[in-house]
Amino acid sequence: MIKFIPEDTGVVFEEIPDEITLAINISNCPHRCPGCHSAYLQQNVGEVLTLDVLENLIKKNKGITCVAFMGDGGDFNEIFLLGVFVKNEGLKVALYTGAEDVPIRFWEEFDYIKVGPYIEKLGPLNSETTNQRLYKRYGDDARTFETVNGVLRSQWSDITEKFWKKAFI
């Protein structure tokens, strides 16, 4: 069962570029990245995230365009089912995971996927040296690239650089 932290759940504008996102922090993270900024999410804490709870969160946060599951809780099957529910509600869906390999069905159904463990010396997504990548699904004209697990995917682009602040002269 997937658990989330209700008091950490809210609308954000920076996690998914160009989206008004309901970010749901998932606990029981199995990745245990050294230096994690949210180490408390490694514990099995919070409340169970059922379809009814998710539906209420979506209704309560009118105007959102995306729901981001901030973590996988070690249960890709349940996160996937929650994501399909979000898609059926007419919203985009995102997954932030410290995993490097994400099941193929996520690439077929989700709109955004952030992969890669946090490596402190490389920094988070807003660091140009980060190992983490955020991918966005596009239409048929998107570039084709090779994903981190070596499987060739089309209709996805790496949008990680949108997090990098550039100095303008």
Mean pLDDT, rounded, for 8-30:
95
Mean pLDDT, rounded, for 111-133:
94
User: CB under 8 Å to 22, separation ≥6 — which residues?
Assistant: 9, 10, 11, 12, 57, 58, 61, 64, 66, 67, 68
Q: What does the block give as tokens for 24?
A: 């749901």
* pLDDT level of residue 153 (50, 70, 90 thresholds): low
pLDDT at 149: 53
Cα separation, 6 vs 111, whole angstroms: 23
Q: Comparing 117-126, 134-143, 148-157, which segment has the lowest mean pLDDT?
A: 148-157
Mean pLDDT, rounded, for 35-41:
87
Using alpha carbons, list the distances in angstroms from residue 59 to 2, 40, 77, 91, 141: 20, 27, 24, 12, 33
Please write the tens of the pLDDT for every residue from 53-85.
Answer: 999 999 999 999 999 999 999 899 999 999 999
Using alpha carbons, list the distances in angstroms from residue 21 to 63, 97, 114, 121, 166: 9, 16, 14, 28, 23
- Strand, helix or coil for residue 63: coil
* pLDDT level of residue 35 (50, 70, 90 thresholds): confident
What's the one-letter identity of residue 90?
G
pLDDT at 107: 87
Q: Is the whole-model pTM more than 0.75?
A: yes
In the chain the domains, ranked by start, together with CATH numbers, are 3-133 (3.20.20.70)
Q: ∠100-8-68 over CA atoms, to 5°?
A: 40
